[in-house]
Amino acid sequence: MTNETQHFHGEYKVIGGKLVVADVTTDGNTITEVKISGDFFLEPEEAYFDLAPALVGASVNADNATLRGRLDEALAGYGSELAMHGFSTADIATVVRRALGSAANFTDFDWQVIRGEVLPTQLNVALDQVLLEEVAAGRRQPTLRFWEWEDTATVIGAFQSYVNELRPEGVEKYDVQVVRRISGGGAMFMEGGNCITYSMFVPPALVAGLDYEESYVFLDQWVLAALKTLGVEAFYKPINDISSTGGKIGGAAQKRMRDGTLLHHATMSYDIDADKMVEVLRIGEAKISDKGVASAKKRVDPLRSQTGEARKDIIDVMADTFASRYGATFGTYTPEELKRAQELVDEKFGTEKWTHRVP
């Protein structure tokens, strides 16, 4: 227990909304003073002056639901007169939690972007573990990397059942390389050029104060902006699907280390052969609908059809958007990272034991 006065500052740009800022003072145990500000809109004006008092007295460890509940209770008396534009009480709770967690912004870090060379899928999966460990150890700066591959592969989630997800006859027919990754989520059918996949290696401070669902949307703001530049009105569909007015585009998955360092990656369909996909994956009717495949006799091509752009050009826009927003520089893998990744292929990702760890 401590009674030392501490001051915290946090900022949160609401996805599709406004900037919300919190300046918080605590005695080490509870919130003693708060100032909420931003470029949002709130009516009636008197409601603004009820925001800060509602948070005073809350524990410094209060979760989003608790803080939101205090705010909702304080504003309940305004009834239908209350109008919050560009933010919500949940967003206020989030920025307060980010302030107390000493959250950082993207621009607080020196990011590197890697436009990867063509590598086997096993090595791409292994590099996710290597770079995650390198960022956690402080030997590598936060990094965004784009995958490149030419083999035909299916990358399954860390906890998916091999036999439930794959059709052995299809795997054999098309010589599919099956690889299990370290993050959860669903299977990815990947042929060279048929989708766009990227991985981000994120310091804990960047997602401080964000819950699991919030972190997905927050980390992919840049890619939604890039897609908008390409004419695609994209948005997140909870928990981890990237969708658009033209249908689902892709999905994301994460893996967190004990210290909070985070792997966040996403795969978006560019031009997938749906006939082949359903021969390789055991996809039920619900999944087929979710993937935007009304009939197996077609291609899954949201990024190609919605943008009219070549895959490389789309990645160019994505990489440039990230670099310009966050001041990132372009780089590459170190020889040591590639060597360690190959070792992990031999020891782990290329073994039957790992691939079939969930039979």
Indicate the average pLDDT of the chain. Answer: 93
Neighbour-count burial of 104, counting CB atoms closer than 10 A to its CB (0-12 exposed, 13-18 middle, 19+ buried): middle
| Per-residue pLDDT at 283 | 82
Domains of the chain: 6-100 (3.30.390.50), 107-356 (3.30.930.10)
pLDDT tens track for 244-287: 988 899 999 999 999 999 999 999 999 999 999 999 999 854 45
In this predicted model, which residue has the larger pLDDT, 265 or 212?
Answer: 265
Averaged pLDDT, 56-66: 94
pTM, full prediction: 0.87
| Per-residue pLDDT at 284 | 58
pLDDT tens track for 148-177: 999 999 999 999 999 999 999 999 999 999
Find the length of the chain. 359
In this predicted model, which residue has the larger pLDDT, 299 or 218?
Answer: 218
* Rounded-to-integer distance, Cα 115 and Cα 148, Å: 8
| Per-residue pLDDT at 285 | 44
Residue 290 has pLDDT above 70, yes or no: no
Neighbour-count burial of 148, counting CB atoms closer than 10 A to its CB (0-12 exposed, 13-18 middle, 19+ buried): middle
| Per-residue pLDDT at 336 | 98
Q: What is the DSSP letter of 166?
A: B
| Per-residue pLDDT at 210 | 87
Residue 296 has pLDDT above 80, yes or no: no
